[in-house]
Amino acid sequence: MSFQAPKGTFDWLPPSSEQVLAVREALVAPVRRAGYGYIETPVFEDTQLFARGVGESTDIVSKEMYTFPDKAGRSLTLRPESTASVLRAVLQHGLHNGQLPVKLWYSGSQFRYERAQKGRYRHFWQVGAEALGAEDPALDAELIVLGVQGFAALGLTGVRLLLNSLGDRACRPAYRAALQEFLRGLDLDADTRARIDINPLRVLDDKRPEVQAQLAGAPLVVDHLCAACKAYHEEVRSLLTEAGVAFEDDPRLVRGLDYYTRTTFEFVHDGLGSQSAVGGGGRYDGLSEMLGGPPLPSVGWALGVDRTYLAMEAEGLLAGDATGRLQVYGVPLGDDARRRMFLLVDELRRAGVSADMAFGGKGLKGAMKGAGRSGARFALILGERDLAAQAVQLKDLTTAEQTEVPLAQVVDVLKGKVQ
């Protein structure tokens, strides 16, 4: 019997696994430069954290959670997102009692039992950043700018920024009622009707053309913002404009999580088909209180690493592969040479030169093939005659030029060449 990775999951293998590591690093470099500290939380949490935090009425909580009892009967859930976990950790450790905002970033696996398709997986990777405990439009703008910079650092040019405001507890209820009244007058199926009561904003997000056609005249939240939310939103918009960040106002942008207030945004890429969001986020001023904490107005985003990789593929940015990391490849011929090469490779690595060697007793031809495939720039060929002369053949695999170097000097010679 042979096993396959579970449906909706896949393995990252070299060389693309190296590229995806580089993607993660590039996406978080801007927030690290902006004073965000690294946080790691468990991949599973008390189920109630997500039920309350993300919201019972969302697809994530009602359909997509990997929930299981542990051996003591506690209900645990593999994290479908990390904002609730980060806030839980902040409250648990009292980080909010120090300097505000608390700025944190993370990188890790997320789990959602979704209908699997290209760009939508059951196990996927996000990097994220959260700024907790400050209500300031400059903080919203900062995070958006840092997200834009992450995508730009990867060379992506096709990422668009969609921006909206969802109002706050002062103005959202009246908007929600107006939207519900409008939706009740439409010709919708039973499931969608049920949604009107539970989560009417999500109906706006229905992708079916027959539903979209009826939504043309739906009331928009931007037209129902209270004065404070309107001023806040205008300030975010003007800071982004001043920072030279292009955005599109999208009054129909609603997000799939219930905790959002005011600023919401999404980064989309048109080369990805229907799963076009490469990242998203917004402000969640009420989440702390929903989790039993003090008022802690906060804002954050998460960027999809797998989808960002796909976007890079769509833009042809992955052409040069990342196999060039190995610098030296050892080719020992015979047992004595193999023993000496084992030590030489170790010495090279200690000196900071990346090195590998042929294993499995390969002959010259097979080992040289291995050297070529390894992507290394140099091969070190060590035969019996070389050993007797205390020398090694150094071959530059890009020019095929070969020189003899004394064994005692080869580490220094290579150190000089690979720098």
Query: Any idea which residue has 């996927």 for tokens?
Result: 124
Q: Residue 244: which residues within 8 A CB-CB, separation 6 or more?
A: none
Closest CB to ligand HAM among 86 and 341? 86
* 3-class secondary-structure state, position 341: helix
Closest CB to ligand HAM among 31 and 225? 31
Closest CB to ligand HAM among 124 and 329? 124
Task: Name the residue whose CB lies closest to ligand HAM.
Answer: 304
> Known binder of ligand: residue 48?
no
* Minimum distance from residue 63 beta carbon to ligand HAM (Å): 12
Q: How far is Cα 148 from Cα 250, in angstroms, rounded to an integer?
A: 17
> Known binder of ligand: residue 83?
yes
Amino acid at 298: S
Closest CB to ligand HAM among 86 and 344? 86
- Residue 255: name the closest of 195, 201, 307, 218 by CA: 201
H-helix or E-strand containing 198? helix 190-198
* Minimum distance from residue 126 beta carbon to ligand HAM (Å): 5
Residue count of the chain, please give it: 419
Q: How far is Cα 208 from Cα 139, in angstroms, rounded to an integer?
A: 35
Q: How far is Cα 332 from Cα 303, in angstroms, rounded to an integer?
A: 46
* Minimum distance from residue 166 beta carbon to ligand HAM (Å): 12
* Minimum distance from residue 357 beta carbon to ligand HAM (Å): 39
Name the residues that contact ligand HAM, by CB under 6 A: 81, 83, 112, 114, 120-121, 124, 126, 128, 130, 256-257, 277-282, 284, 300-302, 304, 306-307
> Known binder of ligand: residue 40?
no
> Known binder of ligand: residue 121?
no
* Minimum distance from residue 12 beta carbon to ligand HAM (Å): 13
- Residue 304: name the closest of 345, 338, 272 by CA: 272
Closest CB to ligand HAM among 285 and 356? 285
- What angle (nearest 5°) sits at the alpha carbon of residue 245, between those of residues 242 and 246? 115
> Known binder of ligand: residue 409?
no
Closest CB to ligand HAM among 203 and 348? 203
* Minimum distance from residue 272 beta carbon to ligand HAM (Å): 9
- Enumerate helices (H) and strands (E) in the chain, giving the number of each: 16, 16
> Known binder of ligand: residue 126?
yes
Q: How far is Cα 102 from Cα 95, in angstroms, rounded to an integer?
A: 7
* Minimum distance from residue 394 beta carbon to ligand HAM (Å): 46
Closest CB to ligand HAM among 201 and 277? 277
**Environment class of residue 326 by beta-carbon count within 10 Å: exposed (0-12), middle (13-18) or buried (19+)?**
middle
State both tokens at 53.
């935090």
Please check whether residue 238 is in contact with residue 154, taking contact to mean a CB–CB distance below 8 angstroms: no
> Known binder of ligand: residue 82?
yes
Q: Which residues are annotated as a binding site for L-histidine?
A: 81-83, 112, 126, 130, 255, 259-260
Q: Which residues are annotated as a binding site?
A: 81-83, 112, 126, 130, 255, 259-260
